[in-house]
Amino acid sequence: MATIINRSMFPLSSGINNIMGMKERYDKLQTQLSSGMKASNLAEMGSDRYFDLALRQRVSRIESYQSNIKTVNLRLNVLDQTIGRLDTIEADARAATMSGSGGQASLNFQTTPTLASARFDEVMTLMNVDIAGRYLFGGAKTENKPVEDAYFALNGRGSQAGFKQVAGERKLADLGTSHLGRLTIGTATNTTTLAEDGTHPFGVKLSTASTTCANITVNQPSGAPPALSVEFGATLPVAGETVTLNFTMPDGTADSITLTAVETAGEPGSFVIGADADATAASFGVALEAQVKAMAEGRMVTASAYAASESFFYGQGGQPMRVDGPPYDTATALVAGTDANTIFWYKGEDSTSPRTTVTAKVGESTAVAYGVQANETGLVNLVQSLAAMAIQVFSESDPTATDRYMSMVARNTERLAETGDSNGSIAVIAVELGLAKSTAGAIDQRHIDHKAQLGNMLQDIEEAPTEQVAMEILALKTRLEASYQTTALLSQLSLINYLK
């Protein structure tokens, strides 16, 4: 039986199909070579598309965190500059009150209040700093200015009293009608009595009393309202022996008066030893009244201004407090100001944990807290101190000026001292914000490294290596040419051609 030799022995269809497959692969390789990508859509990626989507989602989350970090860093940079400036103002104000003691040879009487007013204005302006309408010193309340404008805070607006008015009312309440700091002085026979004029927060408060004379009996403050007495015995004191009375000022600071027994009148801070106990007590009472009045009109007036500043420029959890009057010189209570009659200096959020009022998520499990409130302890202390200084008026012709000035200097030296370990101080705020910035920076670097790793993984999945594709194209080209030649030969195969 003759063998039939024809194209059925060498089917062309399979060869052509192979050529078409190689042609499709060749076209795809050319596309990869021109685009640099393995696939033009997800469908072409096969099972790799699941990994690709997961990686891209992770990269997207990292980029969102990096965007948060960029925003946080911008705000922290502004806060850092602002807090740094506030710290400088505090240092300058402290140095200014330590540079002299006033008097004819110094300009401090005039310049200190003026500089304090300028610094107060700058501090209030700095606390209203914003970034694109977002205010930074009001905690989470970022849409409005957190503090009142400096001018209105001092001078008031319409029916709303400012600090100057509130401090003036407090001065009257602390001085009292007799300008003795709400104390009363009386002498009966051999005993001088010093008493508070009522139970209220105003004026000078009695603390303790002591004497260096064994023949003087001092009875400590007692009763309601408190009163103390100094009793002279039949044996009179001798020159040089003293009686010391200690007081608490309206702002909580301590003060004292020491009266020294003398034989001849005319020495400041002294009382004359009389012919008997009654006469000595009378002399002591007169001297005590003069010293109490000088203290009240001098040092206590300064203390009153600081007490008023603490009531008006309230801190966390506070509200403006003012004297319940008129009348003010006989007032017996403080009353909360209302929005109708008193300027509210701070209008931001009032949280006991200011830093946590503003947070930003910068990583999967990491958030930074960087909220700041203008009513934090260190910032409020600066505002209160500058405001109390700003409203002072000193004159060479005023006999109380030097006493008031020196009292102000002492207070500000203490109040504006560096208290870096104090909660809420300017230094602590700066440290805590610095920690937030450091944390954000470390997390950002971690994101950069992680994103680079993910990018390499995506590159392996998505990108077509140029050298590898080119080599495959060359190899495929050779195979295609060989297949074309073979198929062409087979297409011409027949018995006739075979027999030839």
**If pLDDT is split at 50, 70 and 90, which confidence band does 284 have?**
very high
List, as one string, the DSSP characters of 141-191: --SS-SB--HHHHHH-BTTBB-HHHHHHHHHHHHHTTTTSSSEEEEEETTE
Residue 158 lies in a domain: yes
How many CA atoms lie less than 13 Å away from 250 in the CB half-sphere?
A: 34
pLDDT recorded at residue 104: 47
pLDDT recorded at residue 1: 44
Residue 245 lies in a domain: yes
In this structure, what CATH number is given to the domain that contains residue 71?
1.20.1330.10
**If pLDDT is split at 50, 70 and 90, which confidence band does 301 have?**
very high
The pLDDT tens digits of the residues spanning 401-422 come to: 999 999 999 998 888 886 545 6
Tell me: do 113 and 180 sit in the same domain: no
Measured at the CA of 117, the angle between CA 354 and CA 104, to 5 degrees, comes to 140
Environment class of 363 (CB within 10 Å of its CB; exposed 0-12, middle 13-18, buried 19+): buried
Residue 387 lies in a domain: yes
How many CA atoms lie less than 13 Å away from 151 in the CB half-sphere?
A: 2
Residue 496 lies in a domain: no
**If pLDDT is split at 50, 70 and 90, which confidence band does 445 have?**
confident
Is residue 368 within 8 Å of residue 360, measured between CB atoms? Answer: yes
**If pLDDT is split at 50, 70 and 90, which confidence band does 452 have?**
confident
Tell me: do 226 and 330 sit in the same domain: yes
Please give the C-alpha separations between residue 113 and each of 119, 127, 359, 393, in angstroms, as whole numbers.
10, 21, 39, 7
Last residue of a domain, one of 301, 329, 345: 345
Residue 22 lies in a domain: no
Domain range spanning residue 157?
148-345
- Whether the predicted pLDDT of 153 surpasses 90: yes
pLDDT recorded at residue 485: 67
Tell me: do 181 and 287 sit in the same domain: yes
Give Cα 328 to chain centroid, integer Å: 35
Q: Are strands 270-272 and 254-262 parallel, antiparallel or unpaired?
A: parallel
Tokens for 500, please give them.
Answer: 């030839």
The number of distinct structural domains making up the chain is: 2
**If pLDDT is split at 50, 70 and 90, which confidence band does 386 have?**
very high
Tell me: do 67 and 55 sit in the same domain: yes
Tell me: do 417 and 428 sit in the same domain: yes
User: Any idea what DSSP says for residue 249?
Assistant: -
User: Any idea what DSSP says for residue 144?
Assistant: S
**If pLDDT is split at 50, 70 and 90, which confidence band does 105 have?**
very low
Phi and psi at residue 395, in whole multiples of 5°?
-140, 140
Environment class of 232 (CB within 10 Å of its CB; exposed 0-12, middle 13-18, buried 19+): buried
Last residue of a domain, one of 311, 345, 379: 345
pLDDT recorded at residue 334: 97
| Location of structure tokens 């590898």 | 468
Tell me: do 65 and 202 sit in the same domain: no
**N-terminal to C-terminal alpha carbon distance within the chain:** 21
Residue 473 lies in a domain: no
Tokens for 202, please give them.
Answer: 């105003």
What is the average pLDDT across 30-46? 58
What is the average pLDDT across 283-291? 97
pLDDT recorded at residue 448: 84
Tell me: do 326 and 237 sit in the same domain: yes
Tell me: do 84 and 169 sit in the same domain: no
pLDDT recorded at residue 46: 61
pLDDT recorded at residue 162: 98
Tell me: do 386 and 250 sit in the same domain: no
The pLDDT tens digits of the residues spanning 333-355 come to: 999 999 999 999 999 999 999 99
Residue 30 lies in a domain: no
Cα 73 from Cα 62, distance rounded (Å): 16
Q: Kindly state the percentage of the chain with pLDDT values over 90.
A: 63
User: Any idea what DSSP says for residue 105?
Assistant: T
Cα 198 from Cα 206, distance rounded (Å): 12
**If pLDDT is split at 50, 70 and 90, which confidence band does 365 have?**
confident
**Dihedral, CA of residue 294, residue 298, residue 300 and residue 305, to nearest 10:** 160
Lowest model confidence (mean pLDDT) among 169-178, 327-336, 456-465 = 456-465
The pLDDT tens digits of the residues spanning 214-248 come to: 999 999 999 999 999 999 999 999 999 999 999 99
Q: What residues contact 35, with CB distance under 8 A and at least 6 apart?
A: 464
Tell me: do 285 and 380 sit in the same domain: no
What is the average pLDDT across 202-211? 97
Tell me: do 98 and 190 sit in the same domain: no
Cα 168 from Cα 165, distance rounded (Å): 5
- Whether the predicted pLDDT of 29 surpasses 90: no
What is the average pLDDT across 428-435? 93
Last residue of a domain, one of 301, 328, 345: 345
Q: Kindly state the percentage of the chain with pLDDT values over 70.
A: 76
Instruction: Name the average pLDDT for the chain.
Output: 86
- Whether the predicted pLDDT of 478 surpasses 80: no
Strand partners, 184: 195
Lowest model confidence (mean pLDDT) among 266-275, 424-433, 450-459 = 450-459
Residue 319 lies in a domain: yes
Cα 63 from Cα 51, distance rounded (Å): 18
Tell me: do 140 and 179 sit in the same domain: no
**If pLDDT is split at 50, 70 and 90, which confidence band does 2 have?**
very low
